[in-house]
């Protein structure tokens, strides 16, 4: 499961998404090749007026969470997310599209060192 991702393309380069946006600034966040949990990420989500791009903090505070400073999960298993109490309501009602160009997975070498590998489309 990825713990870092990157977005280097401008919002306008996500052509299929941008076509339906309303009232979005051309660049809401600068490009970043190392977006980590708790940092700002650019997402597209539904508003009353239509699709809107906006920056959000990466991590989920569940609806039943009393304290926004609690540990924020950054990912979930697709096989169980719809049933797990932590993610159930978000999966049903609060979806968004995270705009990214790729993500990183880590490989641990025999000597214990870790090497990041970037996965993305060409």
Q: Active-site residues: which are they?
A: 2, 105
How many Cα atoms within 13 Å fall on the side-chain side of residue 53?
23
Task: Region of 93 please: left (phi>0), alpha (psi -120 to 50) or beta.
Answer: alpha
**How far from 18 is each of 23, 79, 98, CA to CA, in Å?**
11, 30, 13
């Amino acid at each position: 499961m990825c713990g870092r991702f990157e977005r280097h393309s401008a919002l306008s380069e996500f052509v299929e998404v941008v076509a339906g946006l309303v009232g979005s600034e051309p660049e809401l966040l600068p490009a970043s090749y190392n977006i980590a949990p708790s940092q700002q990420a650019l997402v597209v989500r539904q508003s009353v007026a239509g699709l809107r791009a906006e920056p959000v903090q990466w991590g989920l505070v569940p609806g039943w969470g009393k304290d926004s400073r609690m540990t924020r999960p950054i990912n979930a298993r697709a096989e169980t997310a719809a049933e797990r109490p932590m993610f159930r309501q978000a999966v049903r009602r609060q979806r968004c599209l995270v705009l990214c160009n790729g993500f990183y997975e880590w490989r641990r070498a025999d000597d214990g060192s870790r090497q990041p590998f970037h996965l993305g489309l060409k």
